[in-house]
């Protein structure tokens, strides 16, 4: 497995939520977003380390997607400011954020289904003069660039094993392939920071391993990655740093090895699941499994024993199966 960035390369300070990073690419401060009475995001301070892979985790409804939306200009916060490469992004529209090198994907895939896979890819390219209405009328003016773009698109598609589908409509792809296409498309612009919202959700288990590889490659190519994920195995495997959100706040952060046993994290997950219908022993064990946390597991088992409930046998195998990944489908209509 890949080289992980050392904790000491990320920060020297005591690791608490909001800890300063040596070389942050994104710095967010006092960012909050309310929907009516609900405070979806309330991040006091957060820095994303440059050149590493950061995972953003947290139970459903924790505000991860909303935080993504705020950082990338798709939504406006009620308070706060944040910078990317030292430049303030407050009030910068989404398309400019993207042009500055901060490109995101969406939790609910947004493959452009009425267009072919190749056209999807080409759309991700930047600096195509032919996107200007006047230049577009004269093919010789944009033909050369188009060929260049197409070549790059084909390279990326080959990497993501989508090259044979280049002329298919995106609507004909499977859910996982659409995720891959969306990620490949985002890479067309050679961004500096790639933000992936649940890249694994719905992806065929056979593909997940190669997807992991792709993400690690991004880091090797010098990009910074921030991704939201529910699959703790994946987080453990590739993330250099983990940020945990619950009820809009950053409740913990740190290297994957330590953050998983942070009591605040356990509380966050158990709390969230208690609040929902998953307040059963099975549900809690599922959470434990999801988090690969023996601590939670033992806690739950103790509770159960105390209450005189038979504890179901534990199947240690974690699952990268899409079906077990919680999907919050309430995002958009």
The footprint of ligand ADP (CB under 6 A) covers 35, 38, 40, 58, 60-66, 328, 330-331
Q: Give the whole-angstrom CA distance, residue 144 versus residue 318.
A: 49
Q: Give the whole-angstrom CA distance, residue 295 versus residue 257.
A: 13
Among 11, 54, 65, 293, binds Mg ion (CB under 5 A): 65
Q: Which does 112 bind (CB under 5 to 8 A by kind): ligand ADP, Mg ion, another protein, none?
A: another protein
Quick one: tokens of 45? 């301070």
* Dihedral (CA of 72, 103, 43, 250) sign: positive
Task: Pick out residues in 57-96 that bind another protein (CB under 8 A).
Answer: 66, 69, 72, 74-75, 93-96
Q: Give the whole-angstrom CA distance, residue 77 versus residue 248.
A: 12
- Does 154 help bind another protein (rule: CB under 8 A)? no
Reference 113, options 58, 185, 170; nearest CA is 170
Beta bridge partners of 194: 103, 225
Minimum separation from the CB atom of position 62 to ligand ADP (A):
4
- The upper half-sphere exposure of residue 69, i.e. CA atoms within 13 Å in the direction of its Cβ, equals 17
Minimum separation from the CB atom of position 328 to Mg ion (A):
5
Q: Which does 164 bind (CB under 5 to 8 A by kind): ligand ADP, Mg ion, another protein, none?
A: none
Stretch that binds another protein, among 46-54, 97-105, 217-225, 260-268 (CB under 8 A): 97-105
DSSP of 179-244, one letter per residue? HHHHHHHHHTT--SEEEEESTTTT--HHHHHHHHHHHHHHHHTT-EEEEE-S-HHHHHHH-SEEEE
Task: Pick out residues in 234-253 that bind Mg ion (CB under 5 A).
Answer: none
Among 5, 11, 32, 105, binds another protein (CB under 8 A): 105
Q: Which is nearer to ligand ADP, 137 or 275 (CB)?
A: 275
Minimum separation from the CB atom of position 29 to ligand ADP (A):
19
Cβ of 71: how many Cβ atoms within 10 Å?
Answer: 26
Q: Give the whole-angstrom CA distance, residue 201 versus residue 180.
A: 11
Q: Which is nearer to ligand ADP, 62 or 252 (CB)?
A: 62
- Does 185 help bind another protein (rule: CB under 8 A)? yes
Among 27, 28, 180, 188, binds another protein (CB under 8 A): 188
Secondary structure class of 91 (helix, strand, coil): coil
- Does 192 help bind another protein (rule: CB under 8 A)? no
Beta bridge partners of 244: 57, 252
Q: Which does 296 bind (CB under 5 to 8 A by kind): another protein, Mg ion, ligand ADP, none?
A: none
Among 7, 15, 44, 112, binds another protein (CB under 8 A): 112
Instruction: Please report, in angstroms and rounded to a whole number, the separation of the first and last CA atoms in the chain.
Output: 39
Q: Which is nearer to another protein, 27 or 111 (CB)?
A: 111
Q: Which does 114 bind (CB under 5 to 8 A by kind): ligand ADP, another protein, Mg ion, none?
A: another protein
Stretch that binds another protein, among 21-29, 181-189, 213-221, 223-231 (CB under 8 A): 181-189
Task: Let me know: does 40 contact 228? Beta carbons within 8 Å.
Answer: no
The residue ranges that bind Mg ion (CB under 5 A) are: 65, 107
């Amino acid at each position: 497995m890949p080289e992980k960035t050392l904790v000491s390369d990320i920060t020297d300070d005591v690791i608490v939520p909001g800890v300063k990073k040596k070389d942050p690419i994104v710095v967010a401060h006092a960012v909050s977003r309310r929907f009516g009475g609900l405070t979806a995001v309330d991040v006091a301070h957060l820095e994303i380390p440059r050149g590493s892979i950061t995972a953003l985790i947290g139970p459903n409804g924790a505000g991860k997607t909303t935080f993504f939306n705020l950082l990338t200009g798709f939504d406006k916060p009620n308070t706060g400011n944040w910078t990317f490469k030292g430049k303030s992004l407050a009030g910068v529209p989404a398309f400019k954020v993207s042009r500055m090198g901060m490109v995101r994907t969406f939790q609910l895939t947004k493959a452009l289904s009425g267009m072919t896979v190749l056209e999807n890819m080409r759309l991700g390219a930047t600096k195509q003069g032919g996107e200007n209405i006047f230049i577009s009328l004269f093919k010789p003016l944009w033909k050369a660039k188009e060929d260049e773009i197409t070549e790059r698109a084909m390279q990326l598609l080959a990497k993501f094993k989508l090259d044979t589908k280049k002329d298919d409509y995106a609507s004909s792809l499977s859910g996982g392939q659409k995720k891959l296409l969306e990620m490949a498309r985002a890479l067309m612009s050679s961004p500096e920071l790639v933000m992936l919202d649940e890249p694994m959700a719905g992806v065929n288990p056979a593909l997940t391993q190669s997807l992991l590889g792709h993400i690690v490659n991004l880091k090797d190519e010098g990009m910074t990655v921030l991704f939201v994920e529910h699959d703790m195995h994946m987080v453990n495997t590739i993330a250099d740093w983990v940020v945990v959100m619950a009820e809009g706040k950053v409740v913990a952060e740190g290297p994957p090895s330590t953050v998983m046993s942070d009591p605040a994290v356990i509380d966050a997950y158990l709390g969230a699941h208690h609040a929902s219908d998953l307040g059963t022993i099975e549900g809690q064990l599922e959470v434990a499994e999801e988090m690969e946390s023996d601590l939670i597991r033992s806690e739950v088992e103790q509770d159960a024993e105390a209450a005189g409930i038979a504890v179901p046998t534990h199947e240690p195998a974690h699952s990268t199966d899409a079906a077990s990944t919680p999907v919050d489908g309430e995002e958009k209509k």
